[in-house]
Amino acid sequence: MPFTSVEDDSIYYETDGTGPTVAFVNDIGYGAWLWGWQYASLCGPFETVVFDPRGTGRSDTQSASDSVETCAAAVEAVLSDHGARRVHLVGAGFGGMVALAYASEYNRARSLTLMGTALNGDRVAGSILEQMGEMRPESLEPCFSDAFLEEREIIEGILDWRRDEDATANARKAQASAMCAFECEKPYEITIPALVLHGSDDPLIPMQAGNELADSLPSGRFETLTGRHLAFIEASKHANDMILGFLESIESTNE
C-alpha cells in the first residue's frame, strides 16, 4: 500500500494489472470508489493506478486551500513514485480539469479521457455543486437518472462508500473553489489524443461545454453518454467499450 508525499501531504495510491498504465483522477470530493465500474474492465489489458487526492480517504492534507495545479502536482508525485514513464489519464469532472492541467505541465501523458468536464470553471453550476457535496440520498440526484436512483442496493452502497472514502468537508470545499476558478488557457497546445465523454442530461456541467472542450483540443473527439453527471457509472458498459477502444487504438498505432 504505497504512499508518496507532496509538500507536507501524504498521498495514498494503488496499482494493479500489467501493461500500459492508466491513471484515474477523481471527480470533486469523491474517493477511489468512483472508478469501481471502470477498474475491472481496464485492469488486465492495462495497468491501473488509483489514488486518494489530498484530504480524501487515506490521504491527508495540511492545507486549507487547493488549486488544479497543486492537484496536478499530486498526480505527478504518484506517477513519479510508481515509476510510470507514459500514462493514459482518465479524469471525471474536477479530475478532468486536473488531467488537462497535468497534460499542459508534464510530459508523461499519452492520452486523455475526460468525462463530464469543461475548459472553464464558469461552466459549473454552483448550486448543483453544493448539492452534490451533501451526505444524503438527494446528493446523488444530479449524478444519476431517476431510474438508476431506484436501484436501492446500488445507491445505498454508493452512499456507504462516500461516507467511508470521500474527502473531508474542508478538502472538498478547497476542491470546489479550485474547480470554479479553473481555466484551461491554451487547449490548442494539448495535442495528445483526447476522448471527451459527457452525460446528455448533466446538470452540473452542460453537455455543450463538453462539446466545446472536444472542439478546442486538436485531437479531441466527443461522445455522448445517456445520463447525468456520473453517466459513466450508470452507462458503464457503453463508456467502458468506448474507453477501451480508444486506448487500444492508441496502443496499436505505437506497436
Place of cell 505541465: 105
**What pLDDT shows up at residue 62?**
61
Q: Within its chain, how far is the Cα of 129 from the centroid? A: 15
**What pLDDT shows up at residue 187?**
97
pLDDT digit string, tens, across residues 91-104:
999 999 999 999 99
**What pLDDT shows up at residue 64?**
47
Q: Are strands 87-92 and 109-115 parallel, antiparallel or unpaired?
A: parallel
Calculate the average pLDDT of the chain. Answer: 93
**What pLDDT shows up at residue 254?**
65
**What pLDDT shows up at residue 38?**
94
What average pLDDT does the segment 220-230 reach? Answer: 97
What average pLDDT does the segment 58-66 reach? Answer: 68
Residue 245 cell numbers, joined: 477502444
**What pLDDT shows up at residue 63?**
62
With 70 as the cut, is the pLDDT of residue 6 above it? no
The b/e string for 127-162 (b: 16+ C-beta within 10 A; e otherwise) is ebbebbbeeeeebbbbbbbeebbeeeeebeebeebb
With 70 as the cut, is the pLDDT of residue 255 above it? no
Better pLDDT: 136 or 11 = 136
**What pLDDT shows up at residue 100?**
98
Q: Percent of the chain at pLDDT above 70?
A: 96
Domain positions in the chain are 3-253
Q: How does residue 9 score in pLDDT terms, banded at 50, 70 and 90?
A: confident
Would you list the DSSP string of 117-178?
A: --SBGGGS-HHHHHHHTSSSGGGGTTTS-HHHHT-HHHHHHHHHHHHHHSBPHHHHHHHHHH
What average pLDDT does the segment 234-246 reach? Answer: 96
What span, in angstroms and rounded, lies between the C-alpha atoms of 116 and 196?
8
3-class DSSP state of 65 = coil
With 70 as the cut, is the pLDDT of residue 214 above it? yes
pLDDT digit string, tens, across residues 122-170:
999 999 999 999 989 999 999 999 999 999 999 999 999 999 999 999 8
Domain covering 3-253, topology: Rossmann fold (3.40.50)
What average pLDDT does the segment 203-230 reach? Answer: 98
**What pLDDT shows up at residue 184?**
96
Place of cell 490521504: 59
The b/e string for 220-239 (b: 16+ C-beta within 10 A; e otherwise) is bebbbbebbbbbbbbbbebb
